[in-house]
Amino acid sequence: MRASFEPEQCHHCESPSCVRVCPTGASYRRSDGLVLVDAEDCIGCGYCIIACPYDARYFNPETHVVDKCTMCVQRVDNGQPPACVQTCPTKVRVFGDLNDANGRLHRTLATRRSQVKKVQTGNDPQLYYLL
The site for ligand SF4 (CB under 6 A) is made up of 10-13, 16-18, 21-22, 24, 26-27, 35, 37, 42-48, 52, 54, 56-57, 66, 68, 123
| Residue 25: CB minimum distance to ligand SF4, A | 8
Contacts of 52 (CB under 8 A, 6+ apart): 10, 17, 18
| Residue 63: CB minimum distance to ligand SF4, A | 11
Between 46 and 103, CB nearer to ligand SF4: 46
> What is the enclosing helix (H) or strand (E) of 27?
strand 27-29
Between 29 and 107, CB nearer to ligand SF4: 29
* Positive or negative: CA dihedral 125, 127, 130, 131: negative
Residue 123 near residue 53 (C-beta atoms within 8 A): yes
Between 56 and 85, CB nearer to ligand SF4: 56
| Residue 111: CB minimum distance to ligand SF4, A | 26
Between 102 and 124, CB nearer to ligand SF4: 124
| Residue 54: CB minimum distance to ligand SF4, A | 4
Number of H helices, E strands in the chain: 5, 6
Residue 123 near residue 11 (C-beta atoms within 8 A): yes
CA distance 42 to 17: 16
